[in-house]
């Protein structure tokens, strides 16, 4: 598996690796479900979801930063 690049160095590469990670995780989900391992599949589905959200969040970093700074006070 590729090493995850730092977001602040290369946004495109970070997004690409995160999307690949989501695909790998969903392959594992399918495999686990075919084996009847629903608990393992659920964990991998969550990991895939996290990777997907991270991949799409890079386009909104400045907006997210503003929102979270506003909540701090």
pLDDT of residue 8: 60
What CA–CA distance (Å, rounded) separates 29 from 60? Answer: 28
Per-residue pLDDT for 2 more than 90? no
How confident is the model over 18-62, as pLDDT tens digits?
Answer: 999 999 999 999 999 999 999 999 999 999 999 999 999 988 888
Q: Structure pTM?
A: 0.75
Structure tokens at 8: 């602040």
Domain that holds residue 58: 11-72
In a domain, 68, yes or no: yes
- How many domains would you assign to the chain? 1
DSSP secondary structure letter of residue 58: G
Residue 45 belongs to some domain of the structure: yes
Residue 6 lies in a domain: no
CB burial string 20-51: b at 16+ within 10 A, e below: ebbeebbebbeebeeeeeeeebeebbebbeeb
């Amino acid at each position: 598996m590729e090493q995850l690049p730092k977001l602040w160095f290369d946004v495109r590469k970070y997004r690409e690796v995160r999307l690949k990670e989501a695909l790998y995780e969903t392959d594992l989900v399918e495999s686990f479900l075919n084996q009847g391992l629903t608990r393992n599949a659920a964990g991998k589905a969550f990991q895939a979801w996290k990777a997907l959200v991270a991949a799409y969040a890079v386009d909104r970093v400045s907006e997210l930063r503003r929102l979270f700074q506003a909540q701090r006070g």
